[in-house]
Amino acid sequence: MEQQVEKSPSYKQPYAWAEALHTYENKLEQCEPLASSWNVQRRLQLLRGIVQHYRAYQQLDGSIHDPYSQQERYYSTPAYALAAAVLVSKGQTELLESAASALTCSIQALVEERAPDGHPDFFPIMIMGAYRILKSLLPEQALHWQQRLKEIEPEQTYVFTMSKMNDPNRMINWNAIMLSGEYMRYAEGLDGEDASWIDTYLQRYHVPRFTALGLYQDGPLHKPNCPFAYDIVTRYHLTLMMQAGYRGKAADCVDELLQRGARSSLLMLSPLGEWPTRGRSSQHQWNEATAALIFTVQAVREAQQGQIRRAGAFRHGADLAWEAIERWQTEAGDLHIVRNYYSPPQRHGYEIYTNHTCYNLWTAAALAYAIVHGEQLEPIVAYPIPASCTSYTLDTDGWFQTVFSGVPGQQLVWHTALNDPYNIPGLSRIHRADMPALIGPSSAGYRDQGFTRFAEGEIFPLIHAPAWQTTDGIWHQLADGIRTSVPFDCDAGVDPADGGGSYRIVEAKHEEQRTRLVLEWSGPLSAGVGQIQATYEQRPGIIRVSYRITNADQADIERLGAWIPLFMYDGKEAAVLEMVEDEMLENKALSRTNGTVTERLRLQYNNGLLSLRCLTPNCKVTFPPEASHVASRNGILKGVRLEGEAGHDSIAYELRLEKSRSSV
């Protein structure tokens, strides 16, 4: 992979989404500005709630302890130091001693190589952010901080270095995170060496991971696993490094890639301000916090270049990211760090490494940096993001294997990999503006949950996907995927070609309020199926899906079906599911038979209403027991399988999303 990138660097390749971006920017010229309720006071209020909550858990030595594990975890303390220091800089001076104590504790832990849970690489970016604010307020303490910070020897102090690992494939997001903080230390004159070693790491191990869209492929160089969370978190840290003044040998290409990545991020953002799901750590609040910083920096940059409407779109993207986080803030001030309401000790949807205090404060630290770099944000007038005002279909590059399509105010997201049991193939997310984010649903089930663990629910590959029954009575589905020659490893990627599967976009059409997308999956699927076409048509509030098997031994296929995931429970509130007579039917003379086309399902959740009806005559609605209680990142899903008549070569259904009548 390194040799291929050297021959054709990604930052010199064409930007594949240029047409979609151009169409959006033309539309933006016709858009009216938006009123924004987000200002620095509201941002500080959100940040203050998190910091004040965890101030109660600060120990005499300055460390922050997690109330659930009763100990200091990961990089909670330096994250607290940064967030508290930013609040001090905004007038909350009563936090000065607390912030300074946390900073002292963090520096000592880093220099003495005793960072909790073996995570020193995350310390310097937060330490240096706090140090830059507090050094002038506490000059005597600053002398001690400076002395200790000069003791750091990067190749010895940190974990993800070539000196310790001697493996280019392990120079992943951790290494980039460390580099961003180390550059700040160098910029402050606390590193006597030159910064050429940073250039080396960037050029050899990080620039090659970027795609032409500016997305960072985390994981081994030859087989990246590409979580969207670790794409944006790495770009967040490299953005901070550039903001700190990095102008080394890799600066021009890194800057170009970050510009591309910022534009791609704006195109990918959902109308609800949420970052897409793919891979580990998705649906964690810090995803949107890092997006807020990237959008903030880009908004200011565009404004400085006179791109007023583009700047306004990035400003609105930042606002939406803040709002997506604020929705999950508790009355106590802390956050539900994953988008569900289960209690922290239940750890539902948490990764094995997820920690409540650490990820609350890591989110706070990222938001704090967004405030620091948002001094010039307030005068920028907001304008709609792409998901709010235009129609588009976007296919990611590299190994991300994700497709986005939207109409104004609505976005659909597909995972396309056939051989990755953590990102199963099918329609994974449906988001509509002003609707509950989870109802669509917002994330699917799994064949293998990787790092993710759940308080309840069965592991089942439940997603909007086609199914088929063979003559022996057994049901199969696209989400079963294809076995690979190499066993699945959640810490490494899966070669998209392994197993012989592939996908392609057969058709993508866009009108102002409508899109049509035809996806085709090919490969040795179960029961002799070789090819499936799925057609998705959408307009605001309405999605129509149809499936057709185009290459199979028809003698073995008894009937077609379709799996539909229904979101049932978020850890606090249960959805209400009912079968009702379908008043939308054009042919009222059709007889009413339980479980056929003459009825539709209606699901009410959190003031939202999702209705489902089969568009294929004589379609049966079934609730297979294996999908009655399925674990998802957001809670519990229930699977509905629509079953067509024997011999039919296609099946179709319609989803409608609207406010529930009780909320109107």
Could you count the other beta carbons within 10 Å of the beta carbon of residue 153? 11
Start and end residues for every CATH 2.70.98 domain found in the chain: 391-663
- How far, in Å, CA of 181 to CA of 174, rounded? 11
Q: CA-CA distance, 251 to 203, in Å (whole number)? A: 10
Mean pLDDT of successive 10-residue segments in the chain (664 residues)? 49 96 97 97 98 98 97 98 98 98 98 98 98 98 98 97 96 98 97 89 97 97 95 98 97 98 98 97 98 98 98 98 98 98 98 98 98 96 98 97 98 97 97 97 96 98 97 96 91 92 97 97 93 97 96 79 98 96 49 50 97 96 98 98 93 96 58
Residue of 233, 383, 367 lying closest to 296 (CA atoms): 367
Collapsed DSSP state (helix, strand, coil) of residue 659: strand
Q: How far is CA 637 from CA 345, 426, 440, 457, 631, in A?
A: 21, 15, 11, 8, 6
At residue 91, the pLDDT reads 98
Rounded CA separation 21/14 (Å): 13
Query: What is each CA distance from 320 to 37, 104, 509, in whole angstroms?
Result: 11, 35, 28
The predicted pLDDT at position 568 comes to 98
pTM of the model: 0.96
Mean of all residue pLDDT scores within the chain: 94
Which class is domain 391-663? mainly beta
Integer Cα distance of 600 and 584 in angstroms: 9
The answer for residues whose C-beta is within 8 angstroms of residue 552's C-beta and 6 or more apart is 468, 527, 528, 529, 530, 531
- Token pair of 305 as six digits: 């270049």
Which structure tokens are listed for 325? 């986080």
pLDDT at 194: 86
- Which segments of 473-625 are extended strands (E)? 475-477, 502-511, 514-522, 531-539, 542-551, 557-569, 576-581, 599-605, 608-614, 620-622
Q: Which letter does DSSP use for residue 13 in this model?
A: S
pLDDT for the residue 622: 97
- Pick among 1.10.287, 1.50.10, 3.10.180, 1.10.10: CATH of 2-216+234-387: 1.50.10
Distance CA 598, CA 592 (A): 5
Where do the CATH 1.50.10 domains begin and end in the chain? 2-216+234-387
Residues 146-190 have pLDDT tens digits of 999 999 999 999 999 999 999 999 999 999 999 999 999 999 999
Q: Find out whether 607 and 659 touch, Cβ atoms under 8 Å.
A: yes
